[in-house]
Amino acid sequence: MLPSLADYERLVYSLQDRFSSIRHSALVVIRHGPAFAEVTGTIKFDDDITLTVWEDLNFARNVIQSYSYAVDRGGERLYWYDPQPHPNDPTLASTQPHHKHIPPNIKRNRVPAPGLSFDSPNLLYLIEEIERRLLRPP
């Protein structure tokens, strides 16, 4: 379940304290009234990795209404996530509409995204994935 708006703000603004892999966070929570907000910005990691985040949040319904997450290394897009439905693609049915775009042919090559949700924060999963798959061990 999505936490309250105040708790979500605490989550966003504490990410750098929670993850030593984060070198800089420029994420901001923009309130659009008492129950609506947008999260936008970037998180920088070692190895020139950047996570770009955009979320449209509705706390009246406790949901992430929409999102876009992209991961780059040195300006090269490695992958991105979006919830654009693809009902005619049976390979994505298990996590519809959540999916990940990956190389080759990154625009059209999609795989299921079981770690993403509309009703719980995705940021922790995304950061842990970057740590596990992209960052060199110390």
Q: Where are the domains of the chain?
A: 5-77+116-133
The mean pLDDT value for 21-34 works out to 97
User: How far is the C-alpha of 129 from the C-alpha of 1, rounded, in Å?
Assistant: 21
Give yes or no for a contact between 38 and 57, defined as CB atoms under 8 angstroms apart: yes
E strands within 1-138?
22-25, 28-31, 36-45, 49-58, 63-73, 76-82, 99-101, 110-112
The mean pLDDT value for 31-40 works out to 97
Residue 43 predicted with pLDDT over 80? yes
Residue 136 predicted with pLDDT over 90? no
In which band, very low, low, confident or very high, does the pLDDT at 1 lie, cut at 50, 70 and 90? confident
State the distance between the two ends of the chain, measured CA to CA, in whole angstroms: 34
- What is the tens place of the pLDDT at every residue in 93-102? 999 999 999 9
- What is the tens place of the pLDDT at every residue in 71-119? 999 999 999 999 999 999 999 999 999 999 999 999 999 999 999 999 9
Residue 50 predicted with pLDDT over 90? yes
